Amino acid sequence: MLNQERMNRVLEKLDADAMLVSDPLAIKYLCGKMIWPGERFLGLLIQNGKEPVLFVNSLFRFEEELGVRKVYFQDTDNVTELVKKEIRKDIVLGVDKILPARFLLPMIEQGIAKGFINGSLAVDHTRAIKDAAEIALMKEASLINDRAMAEFKKLIHAGVTEKEVAAETLGIYKKLGAEGYSFPPIVAFGKNAADPHHMPDATVLQEGDAVLFDVGCKYHGYCSDMTRTFFYKKEPTAEQKNIYNLVRRANEEAEAIIKPGVRLCDIDKTARDIITEGGYGPDFTHRLGHFIGTECHEYGDVSQAFTDLTQPGNIFSIEPGIYHPSILGCRIEDLVLVTEDGHEVLNHYPHDIEIIE
């Protein structure tokens, strides 16, 4: 059913006369119905004072009333013409950031509006402020992730490969009540931990390896995402400990400054300065964090370039890392909620150095 309050928040923020939302998750957010159209067109047209219109392929016909007018079309219909009929030619039309060129270019060519802008910010800014029900689900998803991490650690033993460990994680999530992954799990041993996007492969665990888990699950459609880096059988070297503790401090000191009204770039800076002063600045190769919700990566960065201020209801990751192939690859990541007067870290799995025996 149409969520009028969310819709109003989007329309208020919109810099255009109408908005054609095409991201299935944004459409679900606004009218409560998940439709996955594959390569076919799907659009929710919203404009002030008019009934929203949902354009949906007849293949996905449904009876449910959503409080929107449905316009069905066949594979052979011209989608551009259908949208054209529903809007005035002299308006500026906001389109979704993910609207593919194959739909956007014909709309521009046929001049169905006088101007086109990326209108997704209005939706994204709305989605970035979670309401109470969303926060409750995100907390539960992260609690499941905490419990799962303790189980994943038990999968580590002599002779095991990354792939074998990764293959067990889905079952553990499901047993703990999650419906599935929020993203394919990263399990990285030794040098592989120094590749931030390593995919689990046939690498066999060795004594002294770092063991990195970057993992998350979904709970009622909401995502968790956490990283911990363990050591296998051997005490880390002094250099490794130094890197680990820099990453840990970067994580904890960045988290400590989070409250409403802080520039997201300043949170990144807090972590980055610690790593840079420790001499590993060039080995921290990515942003500090990303917003998260029904998608694992939602609009909003904790990065040097992102100057927006935090607001109550924001949830994002804090995930500093140092990737030094010959010493250690290490990342420590939590999800953090901005509250009315501070913050709440949604992950509770400890940050201490842990040696798996």
Q: How far is the CB of 152 from a second copy (least distance, A)?
A: 20
Q: Which residue has the tokens 């979704």?
A: 96
Cα 218 to chain centroid, rounded = 11
Question: Which residues lie across from 187 on neighbouring strands?
Answer: 213
Residue 91 or 136 having the CB closest to a second copy: 91
Do the strands 315-318 and 334-338 form a parallel or antiparallel pair, or are they unpaired? Answer: antiparallel
- DSSP class of residue 192? G
Residue 102 or 234 having the CB closest to a second copy: 102
Asked if residue 39 binds a second copy (CB under 8 A), the reply is: yes
Residue 206 or 307 having the CB closest to a second copy: 307
Question: 268-327: which residues touch a second copy (CB under 8 A)?
Answer: 285-287, 297, 301, 303-305
- Read off the tokens for 240: 């490794």
Question: Which residues lie across from 295 on neighbouring strands?
Answer: none
User: Measured at the alpha carbon of residue 204, what is the angle toward residues 202 and 207, in degrees to the nearest 5?
Assistant: 160
Q: How far is the CB of 114 from a second copy (least distance, A)?
A: 14
Report the length, in residues, of the chain: 357
- DSSP class of residue 91? S
User: Measured at the alpha carbon of residue 70, what is the angle toward residues 65 and 73, in degrees to the nearest 5?
Assistant: 140
Q: How far is the CB of 266 from a second copy (least distance, A)?
A: 15
Residue 2 or 21 having the CB closest to a second copy: 21
DSSP string, 208-235: T-EEEEEE-EEETTEE--EEEEEEESSP
Asked if residue 26 binds a second copy (CB under 8 A), the reply is: no
| Radius of gyration in angstroms for the set of CA atoms belonging to the chain, rounded to a whole number | 23
Residue 245 or 304 having the CB closest to a second copy: 304
Q: How far is the CB of 19 from a second copy (least distance, A)?
A: 12
- DSSP class of residue 194? G
Q: How far is the CB of 75 from a second copy (least distance, A)?
A: 5
- The site string for a second copy over 93-122 (x = CB under 8 A, - otherwise) reads --xxxxxxxx-xx--x-------xxx-x--
Stretch that binds a second copy, among 80-88, 91-99, 242-250, 337-345 (CB under 8 A): 91-99
Calpha distance 8→30 (Å, rounded): 10
Q: How far is the CB of 311 from a second copy (least distance, A)?
A: 22
Q: How far is the CB of 199 from a second copy (least distance, A)?
A: 9
How many binding residues for a second copy (CB under 8 A)? 32
- The site string for a second copy over 59-88 (x = CB under 8 A, - otherwise) reads xx--------------xx------------
* Cα–Cα distance list, 332 to 101, 228, 254, 345 (Å): 38, 5, 12, 13
- Read off the tokens for 264: 């997201």
- The site string for a second copy over 162-201 (x = CB under 8 A, - otherwise) reads ----------------------------------xx----
Q: Which residue has the tokens 């913050």?
A: 343
Calpha distance 197→229 (Å, rounded): 14
Residue 135 or 178 having the CB closest to a second copy: 178
Q: How far is the CB of 54 from a second copy (least distance, A)?
A: 17
- For a second copy, the binding residues (CB under 8 A) are 38-39, 58-60, 75-76, 95-102, 104-105, 108, 116-118, 120, 196-197, 285-287, 297, 301, 303-305
